[in-house]
Structure 1
Amino acid sequence: MMSTAPLRANPHELPNPAKRDFLTSALRVNQAGELAATLIYKGQTPPIVSSHPHLRPLMKHMYDQEASHFSTFNALMAKHRIRPTAMYPLWTLAASALGWGTAIMGREAAMACTEAVETEIGGHYNGQVRVLLEMAEQMEKNGEDIGPELKQLISTIRRIRDEELEHLDHAVVNDAKQAVPHELLTGVIRAGCRGAIWISERV
């Protein structure tokens, strides 16, 4: 298990305790979210590709991007010695079940799942980018060196956010809105995502 020691402070990291706490929380929940995303697509792909072979390249593309996101946050967690959320085993089971279950319901339901998840995740990453930009602006005002690590983190989260929103667009193009019952399904999944984010940030 990775150490729970705080982030190592240096001029290119976030030495302020509040900033360290934010980064620890952000990276922990991001890793958990990307874990869930890879498992959702892994569960969805076999049933969806079996009934809709033309979707194989799209499902692979989205899975590969999520796997890359997961690797990115794993590396950042290890670098900064941040432990994963204690809910990791539960999220693993829940995400696998969600992926498989929505795929069994059909292509539209699987795409509605992607729509719901990526809507919440896109908004979550937007919020993180805003906070990090505010931190950078305040550091500049205080005459502090932002450093390459913070700049790179902002760039990385922006890129990942854009790729997540690309998945949302793919889902809508592939009839996510035609899922029955669309509002109920996406509403439940979005609520579950918000709850998982809240818990993972804290536990």
Structure 2
Amino acid sequence: MALRSAYSALGGPSLPLKARTTPLAFQLQSRSRNVSSRALSSTPKASQAHTAPTDPPLQSLTKEQKQFLESALRVNHAGELAATLIYTSQTPPIVKAHPHLRPLMKHMYDQEAGHFKTFNHLLAKHRIRPTAMYPVWHAAASFLGWSTGVMGREAAMACTEAVETEIGEHYNNQVRELLKWDEEAKARGETLGEDLEALMTDIRRIRDEELEHLDHAVEEDAKMAKPYEVLNGVIRAGCRGAIWVSERV
């Protein structure tokens, strides 16, 4: 798909530069390197391979980077909550009318539940509060899922297509930002560190699974929903509004 191919090209703020080495420190480092060189010369090559230097991780995040991560994880958590509630509310009427869709609905719900669990863990780990709009999004997502579910298979799939389009773009922007941080860190001889690298891996995986849901929705005639343009436009606008609010509240 054109949307998926657009997500394959990815490219985020910089951190403090390393402190400059003073002349005295440079002399001490030079002596240390001479001693280390003599010690290594008497060490078997196999042992030397294990002592190869590696780039250090980032020492700290800027205020802007911390704010970006907090708002990103807060929005991701709220979005995955909404996704689980949409599928929970859609499934009964959809499966009743189209029993063959039960495995697909369960598959998509199970993946969303896994995403929600991941961001639940990350919020707790980094002591980030959920959005204050949590109860509102809970009610809104449940209503959206139920209403599109009773409208029929096409409307339910149109809902999935609209939601996953916005969520996919949102995750893609986060990956692009983290890749930018990675490039800037490498330019300073640093690495992102285990936590940020793991986060980028998780977001990429989750983004790809969301896009898989989008593909399933299109295959199940999302674009045949009536009125498709109205449903798609209203739901996507609602998603963008919810993201904007959750980033700030």
TM-score in terms of structure 2 length = 0.76
Gaps of 5+ in 2: 1-56
Structure 1 segments (4+ residues) deviating >2 Å: 11-15, 142-145
Q: Which residue of 2 aligns with 1:199?
A: 245
Gaps (5+ residues) in structure 1?
1-10
Between the aligned partners of 2:195 and 2:211, the Cα distance in structure 1 is 24
C-alpha displacement at 1:15, in angstroms?
2.4
Question: Within 5 Å, which residues of 2 pair with 1:23-34?
Answer: 23-34=69-80
Alpha carbons 1:49, 1:56 under 8 Å: kept: yes
CA distance in 1, matches of 2:81, 2:93: 20
Aligned partners of 1:13 and 1:147 also within 8 Å:
no
Query: Aligned residue for 1:62?
Result: 108
Going from structure 1 to structure 2, the CA distance change for 1:50 and 1:83 (only over 3 Å counts) comes to same
Q: 1:16 & 1:144 partners in 2: Cα distance? A: 15
**Equivalents in 2 of 1:116, 1:165: separation in Å?**
11
Shift of 1:145: 3.1
Q: Which one has the largest radius of gyration?
A: 2
Paired residue total: 193
Partner deviation per Cα, 1:121-154 (whole Å, 9 max, x = no partner): 0000000000011011111212333211111111
Contact conserved, 1:129 with 1:158, CA < 8 A, in 2? yes
1:14 and 1:57 map into 2 onto residues whose CA distance is: 45
Q: How high is the TM-score relative to the length of structure 1?
A: 0.93
What is the correspondence of 1:4-19 to structure 2 with a 5 Å cutoff? 15-19=61-65
C-alpha separation in 2, matches of 1:198 and 1:14: 27
The one-letter code sitting in structure 2 at the alignment partner of 1:166 is E
Match of 1:79 among 118, 125, 150: 125
Q: State, as a whole percentage, how many aligned pairs show the same letter.
A: 72
Q: Distance in 1 between matches of 2:215 and 2:58?
A: 36
2:174 to 128, 144, 167: 128
Q: Give the AA of the match of 2:68.
A: F
Q: CA distance change for structure 1 residues 174 and 68 in 2, over 3 Å: closer, same or farther?
A: same
